[in-house]
Each structure stands twice: as structure tokens, then as C-alpha cells.
Structure 1
Amino acid sequence: MMRTEEIIIQDKAFEHRQSAHCENGVVSNLLRYYDVELSEPLVFGIGSGLFFSHMPFLKVDGIPVTSFRPLPGIIFSRISKRLGVTFKKRRFRNSPQKAMEALNGNIAEGIPTGMLVGVYHLSYFPAPYRFHFNAHNIVVFGRENGAYKISDPIMEDFTKLDYNELMRVRYAKGVFAPKGHMYWVENIPETIDLKSAIYKGIRQTCKHMLTIPIHYFGVKGIRFMAKKVRRYPKKLGPRKAALFTGQIVRAQEEIGTGGAGFRFMYAAFLQEAAKITGNEKLKELSFEMTTIGDM
């Protein structure tokens, strides 16, 4: 069950809502603070978050990368463009102290600030969920007794990190190292055309899943990976085949929002999109996608 909790920032409540995926959840929570009500599925769909890639040439810990979504940050960028919302972004590649000073400045001004962090050293994460992934999104919205107040959309409630803990995860090493990356809402347009944003999101999702000619991506990528998995036991041996297959399952079940590789979330998006646009065909597609996800 998703949880909601509020904490006051300079006379205004920052509402924490638990979500299935960090990037969608942080964007949704940040926009809500500025009175733009956009659910996690809407963020995901408008940002064309449904994707597939299987890249044997790109490996993490020796295992080919499989993903059911675009690269980290892409959903965020598309949402910004399609809604006309301006986000300010800063990165401090080799200056952790300046990165923390900039964050403190935002906190002093009452600005909830999103940032990228590494998962492995997040002290509030249960041990089984810590792995070397450096594109996790959180919101920092205050300080209290030397600790930073954290809204991590994966967690049920608000949590905290001390100065050294936060700096460590902001400067985690490895692939996609965050390097102090932080972002916050700078400007919200007076009107937002949700219908247009929804259709743009759907069109790009269809295009990327169906028309990319390279066989590592989209529907072609799913078929390509299926053929490779069938050959794993003979080609890799039982132990390595289990490791490779386990990583695919992890990407689908844990990183992919509890199963079906984001298909349930996209189905929820289509259902909301049907109400907003009045397009009943989207509702039918939502039911169809839910059924596929249950298979």
C-alpha cells in the first residue's frame, strides 16, 4: 500500500507519497509541492517511460544490461519539455563541499531539491536492496539536528541522512556516477495542456518500441533477448546462466515496479489518459495491457 505523509517547509506542506519507481515518484512529489497534481503513472506515460533494451555489449558486474525503461533522467527531461515546466539543474563534478553548500542554500530558501544518489550506501535501505546503482532519485527538503530530511519515494515514510552519509551517496563511484547532480523546479507555466502531453508521450512510446531498426531495443530487443536466454544453459553453464537470468528477473520484478516490466504502470497511465482525453480506446488498451501483465 502506498503511503502519504506531510512535513511543513516554511509554512507549506511537502507531501511524501510512496511510489513504485524513484524517478517518476520524485517528479510527481516535486510538482505536487507547486500545486501540479500529476500521478506517478501520468509522469511515467507522458515521459514515455515504457521501453526495452538488452545490450550484451554493455555489462555491469560482467552481466549484460537489460532494462525495461529508458536511461535515467530521460523521463524527467521529457516531462519538463512536454509540460513546459522549467527545472534548474546543477552538477559539481569534483567539489563535494560546494555541492553540499548549494544544497544547504536551497534548503534555507525552502526549495525541495531532487538529486541523484548511489543506492549501495543508503543506510536506510534494507541490505538485500543495496546494489551498485548510481541513478536513484530522492528529494532533500530540510535539515534537523545536523541531519538532512529525505523523501525517498521507494520508502513508506520520510527518512534522514547525516552530512557524511548524504555526501557519500551523492558521490558514489562507478557507472552513472551522480557527481553531485541536483535539480529543482524553477518555473511552472500558468496553463498545462495535459491532453497534448499525453498523446506526445504515447506516440513516442509506440515509435521507440516498434520502429527502432537495431535489434537490441523495443519489441525487436525482447525477441532478441528471448533467443539468447534459451541458449544460456548450453552456452554459459548452469551457474552463469542462473546469474544472467536472475539479473533479468531483478530488472523486471524489483527495478521494474513489482513485476511485468512496468506494464502495470503503463496500463494505469492509459486508464487515467482515457479519462483526461475522453478517448475510450485508451481504456480498452489499459485493460488489455493489464491482462498481458498478469500472464
Structure 2
Amino acid sequence: MPTVKDIDARGTQHCETTALGVLLRHQGLDLSEPMLFGLGSGLSFVYWDSKHMDFPFLGGRVKPFDLTRNLATGLDLDLQVQETASPRKAWEHVAAPIDADRPVGLQLDSHYLDYFGSKVHFGGHVVAMYGYDDHDAHLVDTEQQGGAVSTSLTSLAQARAARGPMTAKHRSFTLTAPGELPFPQDRIVPAITACADAFLNPPIANLGHRGIAKTGKLVRTWLQRTDNPQRDLPQAALLMEKAGTGGALFRNLYRDFLAECGQLIDSSHLRTGHGLYTEAATLWTEAAALITKAGESGDAQYLAQAGTVMSDLSRIEREAMGALSRLRE
């Protein structure tokens, strides 16, 4: 029964940063979850809707796995990624590192995992795997899903082979830190300014501050967008607050990242950004509560209020990122 020795199986709030934390602690690099999220330039915004979707989706972070790539680049980590169409090869890709006493990250569809509370398809879910036996795989998932958990090898194979939005072909990955561990504080400013630049200059109107402004207009029509507002609106709000976002659509995590950076860097721009993201985090939670009320009551005035809050959020976050982009000066 191969199991990686001395694994620190702490589940945190968000799936990708939870897995990254497990892999990096095993390398001797112990960073807080907000620091992992921020150094991976993880914050973003997307309004995603298409005719194939039952209801629009609001996302608060960069695309799945971009955070891992950003973090590896920023900290000079050796990121080895394996993808294959073959289930047999896919298994070899995870068994080999574990047999060599190294945890491995997996991207998969959470719907198939035995322990997962909500049976929703999400192909961008990330876990760390640290052991297996004849029947089960031993994983670390978020605190919400139970931290150190197990799922049958059959369910793991299904989750890894799934196809659909955000899925990857049996993706697995390992991280190796350089001989001398990096000083994360040297990497803070580039990570923040890269995140700010992407947010301030989105290529399409669904992303960044433009996406938030667009949502502020479209959210007002959400009662007409669904046959079942009692289900779909509270569900959308739940995804903003509880679905591994750390609350407030990842704004709580980014606020805490900026607070931690403020202990390492003395900058008025950083203090401004932190203050504005503290405000933004509160407003996102308020917007989610208004969307829930609209769904439960069927009253469009709550959506009008949510739209006004999001219009404010677009301005507040644009100002915050404007201040943070000046950190490089």
C-alpha cells in the first residue's frame, strides 16, 4: 500500500491552492493559502453564459490550472505535467511519483468522487493524491470536502477520464522546488501587477472589471433567464460564497493575501488596494445574499439592488487594481 511519508494533509478552502499547498509543503515550502492564491495571480472575474447552460455562471478566478502555472513560473518551480488519452498510462503517471514518495496533483471531474457532497459536474477540480491500495486512492481535498479523504479507484478513473467543460485529459502534475527555496516576498510585486494588468485590460467584455459591470446590467434580468428561480438563483449565490471560493467570490482570499503582503512591503498603493478589496469582499457577500432573496421571493427589486452593488464593485475593483498596478513604479 504505497503512501507518501510525512504528508501534511491540511485541507484549505479552495481546491487548487489546497493541492498546491500539499505538494509544496512536501518540498519544504509552507505558504498560507492566500499567499499561494496571490502569488499564482489567481484573482479574476468571468461572466459565463451560453445557450447550452441552464443558468449563467460567475467565476472569480483565472482558468483552472492557470494558477498552478503562474505559481510555478513565479517561484521558479519545476512543474511536470502529464496528459494522456490512455487510462493505463494515466495510472502509471500517478503511481510512479507516489511509489517514489512524492505526492501528485490531479485535475478531474468532482462529480464522480465518492466523498463529494454535491453531485455537480465540475471538470476543473484539483486534488492532491498521496497514496493508494488495492481498492482506494487517498487524496487531500478542501476542508469543506473533508481534507484527507478516500475514493474508490474506479471512481477516480471515471473522474479523471471525464470529458466536458474545463476537463483535461487525465492531467496529473508534480512540483519540485529549486535547491534553494525561493523568498516569496521577492515575487509579490510581479504577481500582483500581472494580476492587475489582466484585470484592467480584459480582451473581452465578459472578463475583469468590464465583466463585473456587464453582470451588474444582466443580473437584473435573471428572473426571466430561468424556469426555476427558486433553485437557480440561490444556487448561483451559493457558488459565489461556498463553492471553494473562500467566500465573496475569492475576494476574501485576495484581501487576506494583500494584508499578508502589507506585513512584508511598505507601500501606500498596497494599502489602498487592500482597503478597497476589504470593501469589495463585503459587497460580494451582500450581492450573493440579494440574489438568494430574489430567487426565494421572486421579487426583481433584489436583483436591481444586486445590479447596483455590482456596478459599484466594478468601479471599486478597477480602482483597487489601478492602485496595485502602480506597485511596480
Q: TM-score range by the shorter chain?
A: 0.7 to 0.9
- Please name the residue that 2:148 is paired with: 158
Contact persistence 1:103–1:113 (CA under 8 A):
yes
Higher helix share: 2
The one-letter code of the counterpart of 2:54 is G
Q: Report if aligned partners of 2:29, 2:181 keep a CA contact under 8 Å in 1.
A: no
Question: 2:250: which partner in 1?
Answer: 262
- Counterpart of 1:116 (choices 107, 118, 123) is 107
Match for 1:76: what amino acid?
A: T
Structure 1 portions without partners, runs of 5+: 1-7
Q: Give the letter aligned to residue 141 of structure 1.
A: Y
Instruction: Determine which of 100, 104, 107 is the counterpart of 2:95.
Output: 104
In structure 1, give the amino acid aligned to 2:131. G
Deviation per CA, 1:125-160, whole angstroms, max 9, x where unpaired? 12xx22010111111111235322111134334111
Match of 2:168 among 178, 181, 185: 178
Name structure 2 gaps, 5 residues minimum: 284-329
Query: Residues of 2 paired with 1:125 and 1:39: CA distance?
Result: 24
Q: Closer, same or farther in 2 for the Cα pair 1:225/1:183, shift >3 Å?
A: same
Contact 1:45 1:202 in 2 (8 A): yes
TM-score normalized with structure 1 length: 0.86
2:10·2:148 contact (CA, 8 Å) conserved in 1? Answer: no
Match of residue 53, structure 1, among 29, 39, 46 = 46
1:75 counterpart = 2:58: no
Percent identity between matched residues is 26
> What's 1:5 paired with?
none
Question: What's the counterpart of residue 290 of structure 1?
Answer: 278
Distance in structure 2 (CA, Å) of the matches to 1:156 and 1:257: 16
1:87-102 equivalent positions in 2, closer than 5 A: 87-93=79-85, 95-102=86-93
**Aligned counterpart for 1:132 among listed residues 111, 121, 125:** 121
**AA at the equivalent of 1:210:** L
Residue 16, structure 1, aligned to residue 6, structure 2: no
Q: Distance in 2 between matches of 1:214 and 1:170?
A: 31
Amino acid at match of 1:86: D
Q: Which of 207, 211, 235 is the equivalent residue of 2:201?
A: 211
In the alignment, the residues of structure 2 paired with residue 274 and residue 85 of structure 1 have an alpha-carbon distance, to the nearest angstrom, of 24
- Note the aligned Cα RMSD (angstroms): 2.4
Tell me: CA distance 1:179–1:169, structure 2 relative to 1, closer, same or farther (3 Å). Answer: same
TM-score between the two structures when normalised by the length of structure 2:
0.77
